Each structure stands twice: as structure tokens, then as C-alpha cells.
Amino acid sequence: MDSRTHGTHDAQDGFAVDLPARRALATEAVHAGREDLAELGLHAPPLDFSTTYPSHDSRDEAARIDAFAADGAEPDGPPVYGRLGNPTVARFETAVARLEGTGGAVAFASGMAALSAVLLARNTQGLRHVVAVRPLYGCSDHLLTAGLLGNEVTWTDPAGIADALRPDTGLVMVESPANPTLAEVDLRAIAHACGSVPLLADNTFATPVLQRPAALGARLVLHSATKYLGGHGDVMGGVVACDEEMASRLRQMRFATGAVLHPLAGYLLLRGLSTLPVRVRAASATAEELTRRLAADPRVARVHYPRIGGAMIAFEVHGDPHAVIGRVRLITPAVSLGSVDTLIQHPASISHRIVDATDRRDAGVSDRLLRLSVGLEDVEDLWSDLDTALGAARGPAPARRQEAVGR
């Protein structure tokens, strides 16, 4: 795939920056959102913790707030209040938009807050119906299925999307590669089937390093930024990359709900982006080798690995998956993914426990499926730990119940 991105004329903290027409993804990851630093006499991006900002011109401030309320556009001039926006977070948003090739991006306190804002924004237009393809992340599935935000969902396979659309359909949602089975869909074909209905693609697993859904027709690109964008397991956030019209509505929803990203989180996420291509490619090379070894192992029934590559592996064992979880020592048995260290979890017990058992199995999430997020450790050390853990997986799997707590 083309590793270059198209530049735009960008303004950060009032400083206009003329960007080159095309820059490689690795270059954008390091420089996007930071172009004005040299002019400011800085090397590292400033971290602004302010919750409010002084203004002696209350008439101008009122006019800018009125403009934001009317169309959701980012206020010109100095910041107003932390719930409307933050300069440090804005740098992260600029960088994500550049990496995904969209006109804008809006950051939130978590990936679920980001998805909730999208659904609420469509609801306000009377478009409460969602068409979705399983599997999705378990909490995304639950949010839609339970109708917690007043939405109605129609679950279908990719071939049935066009027939599932209704006059009140506000969104089509897919995740590719999907959590946790790593199933892939043809995003370009799905975008075509959506017609005028916006397609939201969860790109958390692939990241813009491996896939840019906006270039394939998706109008919204969702990330749990907690995962690869942050990359170190120490920050939580979510972001939606989209066109400016949709971004304006999402900013209004963020202001109304207060689901803002903390400035320190924005700073850490921007820092994480600078190493995103290096981390994803290095972890992907290790994942490919582990996939090869798992596929040849008689203790493993089936291995799932996406065609586009990546650092996620799903595999089903013949024996007890809980025994594998209990026996790893180097690999961390924990939810989440995309960190520099390798994590393993049992989706049917944790990340997808909240999904109805029948729906879960129909989507390919079997009770013997394990999900591995490959980090940056040496491949031989990881394989040694997996080999030992797989040796403990013989015998029937005991019944166990756990609540869903993460991806």
C-alpha cells in the first residue's frame, strides 16, 4: 500500500503551516501536529493543563461560543474552556487526521465515548437505526444490541448490508480486522453498498500503518487510542477521524456530554504516534513468525491471522484455554492490546463475555479461542513461553464466568 499521506494547510494555535503535498507515513507520524514548534522556539510539544482561559473581550467570546453552538466549528483565536477544546489535544487530533487522510479528527476520553458520540450525533438527526456486521468489540456489540443510547440495530453479513438499509439508517458499522477473530471485510465494497449512509470502520487493530479506511470509502474511522496509538498501556483515549462536517457535530456532542480527553492523555497519545509505524511493523514481523509456529503445532486447532498482517493473532486450542492463560509467565494475561509487551486473553470469558453466547459463537468466537497481542519482545522468548503454556492446556476446559472489562 502507499505509505504516503497528503498534506493540507493546517493551523495549530494560530500558526499557519504550509505542508508538502506528500509525505511518507513515518514522517507524518513524527511531525504531524508539531510543525509550528520551531517557530515557537520549542522542540517538545507544550502540555497545556488549563481548564479555562482569560478573555477581556466578553463580546468576542460570546460570538465565538455562539458560532460553535451553531455549527460546531473550532473557535478562532485563543481557547475558551477545556470542554470546548485543548491545544495539546488538538495537536493529537491534527496528527490522527493526517495519518488517516481525513479532514478532521475528534478525540474523546475512551474509544467507547467516541462511538457513543457518533451514535448520539446521528440520533439527533432522527437516524437511530444502525446496520452492523459481527464480530465487533464486545462492548460495541453490547452498546448496539442493548439499545442503551436509543438505537436499533440490524445485524447482517457484508452481502446483506444494502438490503438492511432503511430511511432512518444513520450508520453502518464494521470492524476489520475484527475483534477478536481477525475476520476481514472488503471495506471498499461495503462503502459502495452503504450508498449515502455513512460507514464507520473501527481501525483499532490495523491502525493507519496497515490500512486507511477513509481512502476506501469509510466516512468515519474509529480508534480505541488506548491501544496502538498510545502503544504503552499507560493512557486511555478514543478518536474519530472523519470529514469536517461530521467532526463539527462530534465536537458539539463532546461539549454537551463532557467526554473530553485529558490534556496529559493527548500529550502521551501524540508521543505514541511518533513510534507507531516502527512498533506496528516490528510487532507484526514477530506475529507472523508466531503464527507460522502456532499453525504447525498439533496442540493448536486453528489459527486466525489477517491478510493485511498486524500484531494480533487469534488461535483455538484443542485443550483447556484457561490453562494456557494460567501458565504464561513472560506474556501478560490481561485485557487490552497494542502495548509494547505481549498480552493474552480469553475473549469468551472477558472482552466478549457481555455478548450473548449464541451470537458470540455464531460470530466465530469459540470457547477455545485465545487472543494474543504481540509486543516487542524477542520471538524466541515469546515462543518459549507459549510452548510451555500450551503444554499445560490438555484436558477438558472447566466452566468459568467472568465479566467483560475490556477489549
Catalytic residues: 83, 137, 202, 227
Residue 131 CB: number of other CB atoms within 10 A? 27
Handedness of CA 292, 296, 297, 299 (dihedral sign): positive
d(CA 219, CA 213): 8
d(CA 266, CA 349): 31
| Ranges assigned E (strand) in 228-385 | 238-242, 300-304, 312-317, 332-333, 343-345, 369-373
Q: What is the DSSP letter of 349?
A: T
**Residue tagged 507544550 (cell numbers):** 46
Q: Please check whether residue 326 is in contact with residue 333, taking contact to mean a CB–CB distance below 8 angstroms.
A: yes
Write out the DSSP string of 392-407. T--SPPPP--------
Q: Please check whether residue 127 is in contact with residue 170, taking contact to mean a CB–CB distance below 8 angstroms.
A: yes
d(CA 229, CA 274): 9
| Ranges assigned E (strand) in 165-209 | 169-175, 199-202
Instruction: Extract the C-alpha cell encoding 113.
Output: 465515548
SS3 of 40, please?
Answer: helix
Instruction: Extract the C-alpha cell encoding 342.
Output: 505481549
State how beta strands 199-202 and 220-224 pair. Answer: parallel
Q: Please check whether residue 373 is in contact with residue 334, taking contact to mean a CB–CB distance below 8 angstroms.
A: no
State how beta strands 332-333 and 343-345 pair. Answer: parallel
Side chain identity at 354, as an amino acid letter? I
d(CA 344, CA 313): 10
d(CA 345, CA 404): 11
